[in-house]
A and B are shown apart, each in its own frame.
Chain A
């Protein structure tokens, strides 16, 4: 089944403790992105990748890192999480069409 998977689905952590949220797609898509969804703000793009080893900032990249060492994986790294990064995170991927396929979301709480 073609899909985008994210892990973990739920995470509660403390300020400053490094964490990684994984994202994987099995559709051989070139493009992958990370978004955060906050009430009243909709979805905002954090980072995107147009291919292996090619990443670029979205609208809200501060406090996040990404890497794209393999085509299928695009992990999101929070080196020193803060409470304002409490949010619902979505990973997305797309091929040559503009349709984004989204993962199920990761709900992160930083205390």
Chain B
């Protein structure tokens, strides 16, 4: 079955510290993987998709098919990065299913 696992419910760091939000997936096909972010009182929005291989707001994520992971990283966290982060899996053939992980709340302290 397709599944996305985010093992950490909460990640707390100080400003300037490196951040890694973990995401593992289970899917036998060719996945499309995304990171979505939800800032306080705002709607969910796309942060990254693996296929674009770009850096947004200093965040990067690399798809590791061998480890079935798509961890989100940032070398120096900022207070404005505090938000809820969701990893999501798509690309299931003949469907528009989008499977989210349970989310990780990132708190960045000053």
Contact = CB atoms under 8 A, between A and B. Distances in A.
13 contacts: A43-B44, A43-B100, A45-B98, A48-B95, A48-B98, A58-B97, A90-B43, A98-B32, A100-B36, A100-B98, A102-B45, A103-B43, A105-B43
Contact of A50 (B9, B49, B96): B96
Contacts, number: 56
Q: Is the interface of B mostly helix, strand, loop or mixed?
A: loop
A5 to B, nearest CB: 11
A44 interface: yes
Q: Is the interface of A mostly helix, strand, loop or mixed?
A: strand
Interface of A: 31, 33, 35, 40-45, 48-50, 56, 58-59, 90, 92, 94, 98-100, 102-105
Interface residues of B, number: 22
A102 B97 contact: no
A48 B96 contact: yes
Contacts of A35: 100
A31 B32 CA distance: 16
Nearest to B96: A48
